[in-house]
Structure 1
């Protein structure tokens, strides 16, 4: 796929610059396609288009909520019609196993659009409250304005629609900046936007690298920033938004703990544990990559996790039998292999993996890797690896399990594994993290998702995700 133009103002337009972004297959290293690399003039045009769509009389925020909701449903229908192509395109670029891509990249965007269409339809933008000490107040919800959405590569469409769906429902317009690793799937999104008949300038797409993202984040025509990506990049974006007093939502990294209680039946939940810890080849911010195991069952749990990793089918991302595909790039593979060497140098015990799988000489593959006897203070237990590497650390009693789970710079997610769900819920309430799953993990579209500490600011999904794209105005009445 060779994309020659940028999607700005509802049209495919020639880029201002001549540079392109080349994408190679994560599974083979072969050329997949290219797209223009947006420059400052492209971003200026995209912001102007979004600004016009927002500010024009009768523009997108002035539409009745039911009319906006109908447009969201049309976009969902268009995405559903192309879901197979979208899943395959994402899988080829970033190495996501195709079965995972079909469940997430091919399905979640339309699900989010329909959910937020339901919230928007018939919603009142005003309420009257009885005032104190007298009178009353009209409280209005208004769209925040033009949104700069700076995207990640690991779940590029899913995470994009964490932003697009509520922003559109609120009446905002957007400029999307896809990550350079995944610049082909946005062309399919642009086609769906055209098919759905969204007004010109409501969604604009300008791929680019960090420089383009930084320029967009600080652009004077932007009213809000929403970013998904690394904590390091998130800190830079937060600093820029702080200087501008610009609202920002940050969904950043994680190093989540899987607390296995002594009554857990992991044999019954092996598939769920695999999904919670190794989904998308470990390239997942919410993955429970720190396994905390009770000493009374420690050898058994180490054996189970080792067998789970050793038995995973590693292969081409586009093969439906594949459970672990390649990493997104050679650079990412080098990074993960560096962490594996670090784990060994710090004294962790390698029970399986640690190298490159035999017979897969092309692409960016790393074997699913398990480290046992890991000190929770060690590098591999504290830093986000973003690959198929799990650590196992023993604990004595629930209090120590909670202490170890909370002994992290991150606070995005986590899991608790138990046969007693009430017990699991009590322990989950003690973990300082934005989300926790019991005997599995999957974000719920209807509930807030986001992190604490170095995992970010703000929440996405649920009604809270809609509120992130709204501002309040109070009109005091006598």
Structure 2
């Protein structure tokens, strides 16, 4: 990956306002693999001005939705041709196992582009309704300039949950990638340029927290779409609330997988391994609390332990690797702090612990805790690493109570031989998404988001498109 010295603003590659750089460091080798410019407040100002100009006076919002959808379909074709490059880049910059990058990091964003291109071709922009004094036209119009702020764990996936519907809606966008993962966004910028999307419709500026807050606060931004930590989401929500600015917040999770007594454990473990350990445990939807009945508790603990022991830890570029390194040294230290807290609070690490697997790279030992209770920090707080906690329950009502006893409400699952009964359980757990004998995999056709401290608003599905549209009612006499 070559070093970069430009930012993508107003349809072209421009010199940054400052001299700062972001070093992209391999989580596997701890070596610098690329450098890119660090965006400043002045760069954000220029990007917002370009997006504002493109929205207020450019052709993009004035095209029909079907016309914009056709351009997004063209972008999807370019994206498809570069999936392998995108997957390899994300693995290099943040340590996602290459098999996961090839399975999800690159293909799922492509799926979202295709979905919204198809939806936009037929979506009803106007409808006529009967009113008190005559017909009323209800019209949907783009919300305006969007600030899309994305995290490092699934960078292209999260970009597309925002960019694909925003483009189809007719919005213009300023994307702020995380400083840990700026490289994949350069590939996207090249495709946007090649697709012929008008200048200023998409602008990309990688930057840190200060420039990001400047973007959120910018008076030229009409909506903020954020994915990241709950703490950062609260700050962004406060800024948007103060300015009456629209926002969508997709935040953290601490999801529970309920293992019912009729579950066939050997069959479930293959699916549960993805639900719990995907992307090295760096997933907001990870099912990191595993709830097992007291009658089968030891059996479930051993099955989960064997599943984790079977994961190969190593070089994320190796197709045989199941769990790679964490994204940064600070993330490794944070996860190890939670492992230490679990041991200090009396939980038993039946797999893993505080011994690091390698002398180099930001690796932690995948860890399974038993003898845990739901009031421990390892059960209450989002760890964002390969750490699982198995918690006993008395009966189904108790399992549902424990699942709901959380500040979060993003995802969850139930594992049972009776899928219909599993759906009944799903209806009683307070989350935005749920899976029966699977993890809800964020289907482009269905809404995704959380309740409680997991955020508000929905992405994906028709609901994800509507989040970038404002309704206007037009009544008339005569």
TM-score calculated relative to the size of structure 2: 0.98
Q: Residue 267 of structure 1 corresponds to which residue in structure 2?
A: 266
Contact kept, 8 Å, 1:356 with 1:365, in 2: the verdict is no
Q: Residue 209 of structure 1 corresponds to which residue in structure 2?
A: 208
Displacement of 1:14 after TM fit? 0.2
Cα distance in 1 between the residues matched to 2:48 and 2:247: 17
Cα distance in 1 between the residues matched to 2:9 and 2:57: 17
| Partner secondary structure for residue 29 of structure 1 | coil
Cα distance in 1 between the residues matched to 2:217 and 2:165: 22
Q: Residue 9 of structure 1 corresponds to which residue in structure 2?
A: 10
Displacement of 1:356 after TM fit? 4.0
Q: Residue 371 of structure 2 corresponds to which residue in structure 1?
A: 373
The correspondence of residues 248-397 of structure 1 with structure 2, limited to 5 A, is 248-358=247-357, 360-397=358-395
The correspondence of residues 440-459 of structure 1 with structure 2, limited to 5 A, is 440-441=438-439, 442-459=441-458
Contact kept, 8 Å, 2:8 with 2:205, in 1: the verdict is yes
Contact kept, 8 Å, 1:34 with 1:183, in 2: the verdict is no
244-253 vs 79-88, which moves further: 79-88
Contact kept, 8 Å, 1:448 with 1:463, in 2: the verdict is yes
Contact kept, 8 Å, 1:180 with 1:209, in 2: the verdict is yes
Q: Residue 123 of structure 1 corresponds to which residue in structure 2?
A: 123
Cα distance in 2 between the residues matched to 1:184 and 1:82: 14
Runs of 5+ consecutive residues of structure 1 not aligned to the other structure: none
Q: Residue 245 of structure 2 corresponds to which residue in structure 1?
A: 246
Q: Residue 411 of structure 2 corresponds to which residue in structure 1?
A: 413
Contact kept, 8 Å, 2:292 with 2:393, in 1: the verdict is yes
| Partner secondary structure for residue 23 of structure 1 | strand
Runs of 4 or more above 6 Å deviation = none
Cα distance in 1 between the residues matched to 2:332 and 2:112: 32
Displacement of 1:428 after TM fit? 0.5
Cα distance in 2 between the residues matched to 1:156 and 1:396: 40
Displacement of 1:357 after TM fit? 4.6
| Partner secondary structure for residue 429 of structure 1 | helix
98-107 vs 229-238, which moves further: 98-107
Cα distance in 1 between the residues matched to 2:102 and 2:163: 19
Matched, 1:29 2:30: yes
Runs of 5+ consecutive residues of structure 2 not aligned to the other structure: none
Cα distance in 2 between the residues matched to 1:356 and 1:277: 21
Cα distance in 2 between the residues matched to 1:356 and 1:86: 33
| Partner secondary structure for residue 91 of structure 1 | helix
Cα distance in 2 between the residues matched to 1:378 and 1:355: 18
Cα distance in 2 between the residues matched to 1:437 and 1:266: 16
Cα distance in 2 between the residues matched to 1:350 and 1:30: 31
Displacement of 1:355 after TM fit? 2.9
Cα distance in 1 between the residues matched to 2:316 and 2:24: 15
Contact kept, 8 Å, 1:148 with 1:225, in 2: the verdict is yes
Q: Residue 103 of structure 1 corresponds to which residue in structure 2?
A: 103
The CA deviation string for residues 286-337 of structure 1, in whole angstroms up to 9 with x for no partner, is 0000000011111100000001111111111111111100000111000000
Matched positions, count:
475
| Partner secondary structure for residue 121 of structure 1 | helix
Displacement of 1:347 after TM fit? 0.2
Cα distance in 2 between the residues matched to 1:134 and 1:68: 35
Q: Residue 220 of structure 1 corresponds to which residue in structure 2?
A: 219
Contact kept, 8 Å, 2:340 with 2:354, in 1: the verdict is no
The correspondence of residues 120-159 of structure 1 with structure 2, limited to 5 A, is 120-131=120-131, 133-159=132-158
Contact kept, 8 Å, 1:76 with 1:109, in 2: the verdict is no
